[in-house]
Amino acid sequence: MFSSVKAFEGQHYLTLKRQCLQSGRLFEDPLFPAVDDSLFYQGNRIGRVHWKRPGELCDDPHLFVDGISAHDLHQGQLGNCWFVAACSSLASRESLWQKVIPDWKEQEWDLEKADAYAGIFHFRFWRFGEWVDVVIDDRLPTVDNQLVYCHSNDSNEFWSALVEKAYAKVYGCYEALDGGNTADALVDFTGGVSEPMDLLEGQFAQDEVARNQLFERVLKVHNRDGLISCSIRATRIEDMEARLECGLVKGHAYAVTDVRKVRLGHGLLAYFKSEKLHMIRMRNPWGEKEWSGPWSDSSEEWKKVSKSEREKLGVTVQDDGEFWMNFEDFCHYFTDLILCRLINTSYLSIHKTWEEEVMRGSWNHRDDPLRNRAGGCINHKATFLQNPQYVFDVRKVEDEVLICLQQKERRATPKEGKGENLAIGFDIHRVELNRKYRMHSAQQKVAGSIYINSRCVFLRKELKEGRYVIIPTTFDPGQQGEFLLRVFTDVPSDCKELTLDEPPQTCWTGMCGYPQLVTQVHVLSAEGLQGQDANGASDPYVIITCEGEKVRSPVHKDTRCPSFDIKGIFYRKKPKEGIHIEMHSDMEVHLITETLT
């Protein structure tokens, strides 16, 4: 995964550190200097800031004190709870944070090797399809000798402040992190795929069956090392950071730090009971202000759980910002949930393995319709099909397909006035089994994402066997930008861009002729074919033949009344010759032949 790590802004950590050690000088980052421009892009709002290295703030600085924990993080004077919540989730996953904080033992302060300290650190984030290695110096902004932004419970622990500085460097300045999307940070920490879920729209608070299904999905993501975040939507500006009577805060990102089925009861009796409570644990990035309802830290409900079970869950009675809720209450209060799946592509894993296809593309606006690739959404019928088009195959009878469309980050350059993302989305159309050229007329739309001005849009969809085209677009036509399209299926999908509008001209075209007529054949069922005898069929399938090209449908198992619903498209040189449609069974019994002209 990290063999192709790219040095951010061309700064190579080992080279810079070696130069510092040879010169005997501590590293000072020329690309992210200790000045106000690295803090703000709209002006200083916190007064005079002093940049200090950890050694100037304490006698014994460390990256980690007693390991890494979600409790290490406190938000500070910046509205980046979205980032801190993602860090809290990251801290609970050793395999993940060691990727974001590489060579952490080598980067740790060592009092016995003071001459190895160079004031330089590096961290890694997944950005637009590749891992980037970000170098920083360890000068941190302080006021009155206290860290201004993210800090730890322990005054001599600095991993969270340093990771935050590296992330701020990627975005241009600290202020650029003021307000953001937790889903983006989760993806940047993992290279995974974030699925935002609207809990109100799903009516999970009222529907017990749907709620239990959701819990199993959340539990699976958690158990497979995915990261999870949640929030309560604030519909008005004055509701932002407003605290409810139950202790929860609106418009505030919480990190989900554990998901469990908790056994009720005491002693041996508990093990013979089938009743288990669905529980979820969260943490407020402020490090305080917790849920005060059922199953809060000191509530009576915990008496229903054995002491050993409470210890296993790590239940504490202190205002540390971390608390448990039962999943029903969770769905009642919280409105938004983000599941960041780690997409496993290793064949050596015991967990589900996905096949991943990654496509890079762009929306380019040109006056020439054949070259315009910025046609806007399907509302703009005249230009919609001018957008980039990507074809892929579903090769199982039915397959769960994950699709993620990500645009090139625009929030990362707010100083240049490019802070607004485009509203993006995509449609999926079922097309002919043999389609090789771009669509020029509307096909059967089977799914579509929402359109939103976030960095990513995501869709999870069960699709039947067949060929499909994804059309990623901006909402409005004429808007330009780069995008990354990721498609995950159970078996290889051979996803690729459709670049040609029609069959290419060759040196043989003059002699052999050029296809002038395009014909689409759509076979819905056996009933539509003359002389068919489906009553005797077993595992039937259809073959469509035109001028030597064949399209074969999937086999329909154990049926005598198949509904094929397959399409083929043919570029014909000889329009007077027929198109043959044949139905066969698994025993190669020729059942019917239909000829169309």
Active-site annotation, residues: 81, 252, 284
Strands (E), 119-253: 120-127, 130-137, 140-143, 146-147, 193-198, 227-231
What is d(CA 92, CA 104) in angstroms, rounded to the nearest whole number? 16
What is d(CA 253, CA 282) in angstroms, rounded to the nearest whole number? 10
Pair 395, 491: CB distance under 8 Å? yes
Contacts of 115 (CB under 8 A, 6+ apart): 21
What is d(CA 50, CA 142) in angstroms, rounded to the nearest whole number? 5
What is d(CA 295, CA 273) in angstroms, rounded to the nearest whole number? 20
Residue 529 is given by DSSP the state S
What is d(CA 2, CA 197) in angstroms, rounded to the nearest whole number? 30
The residue to which tokens 């002491």 are assigned: 307
Q: Half-sphere exposure of residue 185, counting CA atoms within 13 Å on the CB side?
A: 28
String of DSSP letters for 289-352: ----STTSTT-GGGGGB-HHHHHHHT---S-SSEEEEEHHHHHHH--EEEEEE-----TT-SS-
Rg (the chain; Cα; Å): 29
What is d(CA 395, CA 102) in angstroms, rounded to the nearest whole number? 39
What is d(CA 85, CA 106) in angstroms, rounded to the nearest whole number? 26
Dihedral of alpha carbons 182, 184, 185, 190, sign: positive
C-alpha to C-alpha distances, 212 to 162, 304, 533, 583, nearest whole angstrom: 39, 21, 46, 44
C-alpha to C-alpha distances, 44 to 88, 454, 553, nearest whole angstrom: 28, 27, 66
Angle at 238 between CA 235 and CA 241, to 5 degrees: 85
End-to-end CA distance of the chain: 54
What's the token pair of residue 383? 């230009």
Cα Dmax for the chain: 91
What is d(CA 355, CA 577) in angstroms, rounded to the nearest whole number? 41
What's the token pair of residue 257? 């730090």
What's the token pair of residue 4? 């192709």
Any idea of the CA torsion for 376, 377, 382, 385, to the nearest 10 degrees?
A: 90
